[in-house]
Amino acid sequence: MKADAAEGGAQLALVLLLGWTAVVAAAVCGLRTLGEFLGRGLAAAWRRTGPWQPGLPDWRLAKVGGGEPAHPAYWWRQAWADAGSAAAAVPRTVWSTLRDRWLRGAVRNLFHGCRPSGRRPTAPLYRLLLMVFVAPGTAVGAPAGAVLAALLLGVVLALFGLLLAVVWLGWAAAVPVLRALERGWLLLRGVRVRCPHPGCYAPVPLALHRCPNCGENHAELRPGRYGVLWHVCRCGHRLPASRPLGRGRLTALCPRCERFLPRAAGTMPVVHTPLVGGTSSGKTMLMAAMVEGLHSWARQGELRVEYATVDDQRVRTGLHQELNRTGWAHATTGGQPRALMLTVARGRRRRLLYLYDPMGESVSDAGRVRAQGYLAHTDGVILVADALADPRVRGRLGPADTERADRARPSAQGPWETYQRLTGELAALTGRRSRLPVATVVTKRDVLDRLTSLPVPGARIEDWLADVGLGPLVRALGHDFRAARYWAVSAHAATGTGPLESEQRRAAEPVLWLLAASGLRTGPLSGPAGGGRRPGRPRRRPDGANQGHEGRYSPA
């Protein structure tokens, strides 16, 4: 009986000891170790997301280099690097805390009869109580707290990873959406940027943008891996990644030739308009008259006209001074032309006008025409027709008229010859010649009005061209192009000292007609449409009707 009682007492004592151990373990786990492990794990995860003191190196950051001088966006890769560092830091921190602080520290000290801090009590009974009643519970509670904290932290990290994936997917989806919106806006408005510089004329789907702080050129300044709304330059300056945020205020360059683009490029449709004619046919003076005519309409409040760049203003000023000084414009030289760029607006619609003035030799043969890369982008052609250069017209002139024509410096190449060399190459370059409009401008109107051997150009210039022997040209233009209209202009009367403002506006009518074909509401300013009124047969001036009026010109 005594043996049974002793065995029962031992079992009861063991049960009580185990129960007490469980109570101590629960207390240690719930009141101490769980919170400590959670706090240390979260703190380690937070610290591992990056150096929080500026200037400290971080080996996880992608180096800036290669072709784009910008820092990759945080969400592109760095977010995953931070999440991976945080996830790896949590179990290491929990394990090192359990091992060093508890198992090798507090638990070992308790089993040796010391307090958790390592201090040894003087009373033997107190040391016995620590070894028997506190140490086992602590040895169980500390690992239990670590396991439970690891599970909770794992759930937190999983939720964080899921949230990060959702955010990353949203960011990744925003990139093509924003690109498509901007591209759709450009297509809807018909904006197609081309380089205006000689020897390039390349399409510019995305320009180089220069950092205003350090001068680095950014070729990928759009929503992408360097940022959705903003890019951060190598120098730390923040750059807008889309036009609504202000990208258009940055200096833009052609990505092919790295020369400057006008600030208006990319904000409005571009109308490419080359003036095609032989040497000394009057292209440069006609372009000057057209620009003055546009400004004349602007002074009347019908248009808003501005030069796209300072260089365009400088070209116009130099040409104006030359015309005022000599009355003539020197022949265009220097190979392929740089476009003279103006912004023309009427109402809420705007256009960026590119006027090309190539040298006359550029249409002297098919090979040179083919080398004029800007013709591939043309939206309409201005054919500069010097009728005095055509052999059939020259054959009809009397001696006095021949002398007058020679003083007008006729072109060495007639308009029919110019057209024949242009039309085939234009079709090959653009592939859409039949969809282009052509404005034919007969130049040197002041001289033509003084010739007694030819009819006076009337309201229907196409009829006058047919009457003087250029009917094949009129028929070919009407057949090969979508639309054709005709004008006769005295650029000499519209430029230089004492210009006629009415003649300036007449000179601008071909450009306004081509702008109207692009959607700008300038049709009412381009003069009456051909065919609206059919006057009688062009009349001839009686001999001597212009004697005494050689020095001045009155528009017919």
Strand ranges (DSSP E) for 371-454? 381-385, 437-442
Looking at the predicted structure, is the pLDDT value of residue 549 above 70? no
How confident is the model over 403-409, as a mean pLDDT? 85
Each residue's pLDDT tens digit, 198-243: 888 888 989 999 999 998 999 999 999 898 999 999 888 999 999 8
Least confident range of 10-24, 147-161, 347-361: 10-24
Exposure string of 116-136, with b = 16+ CB inside 10 Å and e = fewer, is beeeeeeeeeebeebeeebbb
pLDDT band at 56 (very low <50, low <70, confident <90, very high): low
pLDDT tier for residue 461 given thresholds of 50, 70 and 90: very high
Spatial contact of 291 and 320, defined as CB atoms under 8 Å apart: no
Overall average pLDDT of the 523-549 stretch:
48
Q: What's the mean pLDDT when you consider all of the chain?
A: 83
pLDDT at 556: 38
CB under 8 Å to 467, separation ≥6 — which residues?
A: 455, 537, 538
Whole-number percent of the chain with pLDDT over 70: 88
Q: How high is the pLDDT of residue 59?
A: 59
Question: Residue 550: pLDDT above 60?
Answer: no
Among 36-45, 287-296, 531-540, name the one with the lowest average pLDDT: 531-540
- As a whole number, mean pLDDT of residues 460-483 equals 91
- Residue 5's pLDDT is 67
Sign of CA dihedral 67, 72, 73, 79: positive
Taking residues 11-27, report their average pLDDT. Answer: 82
Enclosing H/E stretch for 148: helix 135-189
User: What is the mean predicted confidence (pLDDT) over 38-62?
Assistant: 72
51-55, 88-92, 546-550: segment of lowest average pLDDT? 546-550
271 pLDDT band, cuts 50/70/90, is very high
Name the residue with higher pLDDT: 429 or 460: 460
Residue partners of 477: CB distance under 8 A and separation at least 6: 383, 419, 438, 440, 484
**pLDDT tier, 488 (very low <50, low <70, confident <90, very high otherwise):** very high
Closest CA to 371 of 425, 424, 432: 425
Between 1.20.210.10, 3.40.50.300, 1.10.3720.10, 3.40.1010.10, what CATH number should domain 270-525 receive? 3.40.50.300
Residue percentage of the chain with pLDDT more than 90:
29
392-412 average pLDDT score: 86
Ranges 192-206, 369-383, 410-424, 536-550: which has the least confidence: 536-550
Q: Decide if pLDDT at 352 tops 90.
A: yes
pLDDT of 290 over the 90 cut? yes
**pLDDT at position 264:** 87
C-alpha to C-alpha distance for 490 and 304, rounded to whole angstroms:
24
pTM of the model: 0.74
pLDDT at 359: 80
Residue 544 has pLDDT above 70, yes or no: no
Instruction: Give the model confidence (pLDDT) of 114-132 as tens digits.
Output: 888 888 888 888 888 878 8
Range from 286-290, 430-434, 495-499 that averages highest in pLDDT = 286-290
Residue boundaries of the structural domains of the chain: 9-52+68-186, 208-261, 270-525
Residue 345 — very low, low, confident or very high, per pLDDT cuts 50/70/90?
very high
